Chains A and B, each alone.
Chain A
C-alpha cells in the first residue's frame, strides 16, 4: 500500500509541476517574443509534451495498481482467471457481430476471462473513436462482455437501446453480414426502448422470450449508460456505453492508514465485477434447461 500511495503522490506532484512549468514557459515566451503564431505553436508543443509526461507518470501508477492489486484480487475471487491489464477483446471479435461500428481508433484493455456459476465469460474496457473533420469523437466508452449463452441458434440477433451511438444502422448491418430485418416484438414497451434486428425472425422470438425481454429491461434500468446485446455464434455479447473506465486507481483519495485500505480496494473491485455477474444472474444464463 505504501508503494501505491507513493506512486499516487508522485503522479499528482509531477502532474502539477509539469502543468505549472508548461504554463509559465508559454507565458514567458508570449511576453518575450510577442509573436502570436509562435505563441500558438509553443502552446501546442507544451500541451503535447506535458500531456505525454503526465500520461507516462499516470501509466506507471495504473500499471502498478493493476498488476499488484487487481490481478491478485481477481485470482482470489475466481478459481481460474486470465487477466491482462494492457490487452482487451480484439476489434475483429466485436466487428464480427455486425452490431458495432468500429471507428478510426479502437482501444481495449483490462481483459478478464473467467467463469461464474459455470458460465464462461470475457470482458474488457473498450474505447472507439471516429473522425469528424479535423477532430475525433468518442462513440463508445465502456465495457464489452461475452458470455456463453444457454440456447443454440443459427443466426444473429441484435438488440440495441435506441440512440446507442456506436450501433451500425440497419443498412450497414446488412452489408456486414447477411441481410437483416427489423423485428417488432409483442411488447410495446420493449419496442419503444430497443431496436431489434435479426437475420431470421424465428431466432429473434426464440431467444427473446417475454421473460428475457422483461429481464433485459430491468437490467437496462439498473445500469447507467446505454445497452446493446448481440446473440452471435451461440454467445451473448453485451456492450454498456457508460463512459466509465474500470479497475482504475484513485487519483484524489490517498491510500494507507489515513485513507483507503486494502479492503476498500477489494470492495471497489467486487462492485465492478458485480456489473459482470449481474448479467449472468439477472438473465439466468446459467439455466441449463435448453442445453
Chain B
C-alpha cells in the first residue's frame, strides 16, 4: 500500500514538474512575441521620422538626390530577418541623409532638420532597446531549450530555437579611417 502511495506521489510530482516546465516555455514564447511587437513599434516610429527627414532633404536638394534613397516596406507579420533587412535599409538612408547634409549647409542649419535629427536619435535608442529586450528574451528561451530538464519537455512538444535580431552589419565591420 505504501509503495503504491509512493509511486502515486512520484507520478503526481513528475506531472506537476512537466506542466510547470511546459508553462515556463510557453510564457517565454509569449514574451518573445511581445518583444517582437515592440520592435515593430520602434521600426514604424523610425520609418515615420525617416520619411519626414527625407521630405525635408528633398525640399532643400530640390529633388536632385531623390533616387539615392532605398525604398523600405514595412508589413504586418514580418519575420525577424525581414525586420533586420528593413532596419538595415533605414540605416543606409540615415547615413545618406547625414552625408547629404554635409553638402547642403542650408539643410544642416535648418531648425526643422535639427529637430528631426534629435527625434531620429531618440527613436534609434528605442529601437536599440527593443532589440536588446527581444534578444534577452530569445536568449532566456533558447537557454531553456538546451538545459535539462526543460530540454526534454521542449523536445517532446516541438519547441525550436528562435533567431536573434542582429546588430547592424555596418557597425560590426571594421571602420575604415581615411585621413
Contacts and interface: CB of A to CB of B under 8 A. Distances in A.
Nearest to B31: A201
A234 interface: no
B133 interface: yes
B121 A205 contact: no
Contacts of B130: 202, 205
28 contacts: A183-B136, A184-B136, A186-B135, A201-B31, A201-B35, A201-B136, A201-B137, A202-B35, A202-B38, A202-B126, A202-B129, A202-B133, A204-B133, A205-B128, A205-B129, A205-B130, A205-B133, A205-B136, A206-B125, A206-B126, A206-B129, A209-B125, A209-B128, A289-B118, A289-B121, A290-B118, A290-B121, A290-B125
B96 interface: no
Interface string A192-214: 00000000011111100100000
A254 interface: no
A202 B41 CA distance: 11
Interface in B111-130: 118, 121-122, 125-126, 128-130
Contacts of B135: 186
B106 to A, nearest CB: 23
B140 interface: yes
A290 B136 contact: no
Contacts of B118: 289-290
Nearest to B119: A290
Interface in A145-177: 151
A290 to B, nearest CB: 5
B121 A201 contact: no
A185 interface: yes
A11 to B, nearest CB: 54
B132 interface: yes
Interface in A17-45: none
A185 to B, nearest CB: 7
A-B pairs with lowest CB-CB distance, top 6: A206-B129, A205-B129, A205-B132, A205-B133, A201-B133, A290-B122
Contacts of A151: 125
A202 B139 CA distance: 16
A202 B122 CA distance: 14
B105 to A, nearest CB: 22
A102 B122 CA distance: 36
A194 B31 CA distance: 22
